[in-house]
């Protein structure tokens, strides 16, 4: 058991994080070039990828692939920061949804019609919603991290907090193999659906942005609840309980967004981050008030 735990901890150290960052960059570059080659071959009719035309009919769509690997690295960073900082851990969730939207833009950009009747075309509207969402979410994430920095200045590490950090480290250690299995399963299932099951593709392909991440955020909700329950063993502070509960609600809103599209999808994502910011802001004010009492 100790050997297994040590192996998982290996994935959570600084050296592995730095190495994995370089590896992901190289893989992203190679994947981008390979995707471009497939698009080129598809254009010349050397291969036929009509069923996946949204990803193989425009060179700009090739950016979708390296962004997918960047998202994988962001998922790893989320697990990496889970034991170290709750707010950074939540912030990484927000970064992931922002990157998902950016990746979605690169995939859907080939569907733009750019007609004079802009607001009557579905994909043109979705593109507009996503562009606005990127700017708004980027600004909101900036605010969230600013509030997070203010909170860090008031944190005092004691024995109870150290035990809680150790508990979160163990949770993160066991989360790694679960996410590895989920990512492999999602990828294999997508390959099978895309290339070997034409009937399933009719309704599956439209949800390509949901692959892995819908299940991933479900797991995060369960992990967040588990962390909240363990936190009661180390702290009974009202403000901390409400903050952590609020973050769970924020994650649930992100999860719900995967079952929506268009303007409702964007609204849910923006509201999830706004809700997290408000919870963190009130928590910081509450902590300051308790300190002055």
Cβ–Cβ under 8 Å, residues 217 and 254: yes
Cβ–Cβ under 8 Å, residues 59 and 120: no
Cβ–Cβ under 8 Å, residues 151 and 243: no
Give the structural domain span for 129: 2-292
For the chain, 293 residues long, give each residue's pLDDT as a single digit of tens. 555 556 556 777 888 888 888 899 999 899 889 888 888 887 777 766 555 556 677 777 778 788 888 888 898 889 898 888 888 999 999 999 999 999 888 877 766 766 667 666 677 788 888 999 999 999 999 999 999 886 665 555 667 677 888 888 888 888 888 888 888 887 777 666 655 555 544 444 445 667 788 888 889 999 999 988 888 777 777 888 899 999 999 999 999 988 888 889 999 999 999 999 999 999 988 888 876 66
Confidence at residue 139, expressed as pLDDT on a 0 to 100 scale: 97
**Residue linked to tokens 């991933």:** 216
**What's the Cα-to-Cα distance from 8 to each of 13, 80, 175, 245, rounded to whole Å?**
10, 11, 9, 27
Cβ–Cβ under 8 Å, residues 218 and 177: no
Confidence at residue 179, expressed as pLDDT on a 0 to 100 scale: 85
Confidence at residue 202, expressed as pLDDT on a 0 to 100 scale: 45
User: Rounded to whole angstroms, how far apart are CA atoms 198 and 224?
Assistant: 37
Number of domains in the chain: 1
**Residue linked to tokens 């690997």:** 69
**What's the Cα-to-Cα distance from 241 to each of 148, 157, 245, rounded to whole Å?**
16, 17, 6
**What's the Cα-to-Cα distance from 124 to each of 32, 55, 56, 107, 197, rounded to whole Å?**
25, 17, 19, 13, 30
Confidence at residue 7, expressed as pLDDT on a 0 to 100 scale: 57
**What's the Cα-to-Cα distance from 253 to each of 147, 249, 269, 276, rounded to whole Å?**
21, 6, 7, 10
Supply the Cα-derived Rg of the chain in whole angstroms: 21
């Amino acid at each position: 058991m100790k050997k297994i735990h040590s192996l998982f901890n290996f994935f959570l150290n600084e050296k592995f994080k730095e190495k994995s960052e370089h590896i992901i960059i190289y893989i992203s570059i190679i994947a981008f070039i390979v995707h471009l080659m497939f698009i080129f071959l598809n254009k010349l009719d050397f291969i036929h990828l009509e069923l996946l035309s949204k990803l193989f009919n425009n060179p700009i769509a090739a950016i979708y692939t390296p962004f997918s690997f960047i998202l994988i690295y962001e998922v790893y960073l989320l697990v990496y920061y889970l034991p170290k900082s709750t707010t950074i851990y939540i912030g990484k969730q927000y970064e992931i949804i922002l990157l998902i939207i950016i990746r979605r833009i690169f995939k859907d950009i080939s569907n733009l019609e750019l007609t004079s009747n802009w607001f009557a075309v579905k994909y043109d509207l979705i593109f507009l919603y996503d562009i606005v969402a990127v700017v708004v979410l980027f600004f909101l994430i900036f605010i969230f991290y600013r509030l997070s920095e203010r909170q860090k200045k008031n944190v005092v590490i004691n024995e109870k907090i150290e035990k809680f950090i150790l508990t979160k480290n163990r949770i993160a250690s066991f989360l790694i193999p679960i996410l590895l299995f989920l990512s492999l399963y999602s990828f294999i299932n997508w390959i099978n659906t895309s290339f070997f099951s034409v009937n399933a593709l009719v309704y599956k392909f439209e949800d390509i942005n949901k692959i892995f991440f819908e299940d991933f955020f479900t797991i995060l909700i369960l992990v967040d609840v588990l962390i909240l329950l363990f936190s009661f063993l180390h702290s009974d502070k009202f403000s901390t309980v409400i903050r952590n509960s609020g973050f769970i609600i924020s994650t649930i809103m992100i999860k719900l967004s995967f079952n929506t599209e268009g303007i409702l999808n964007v609204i849910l994502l923006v509201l999830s981050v706004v809700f997290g910011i408000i919870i963190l802001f009130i928590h910081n004010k509450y902590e300051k008030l308790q300190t002055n009492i």
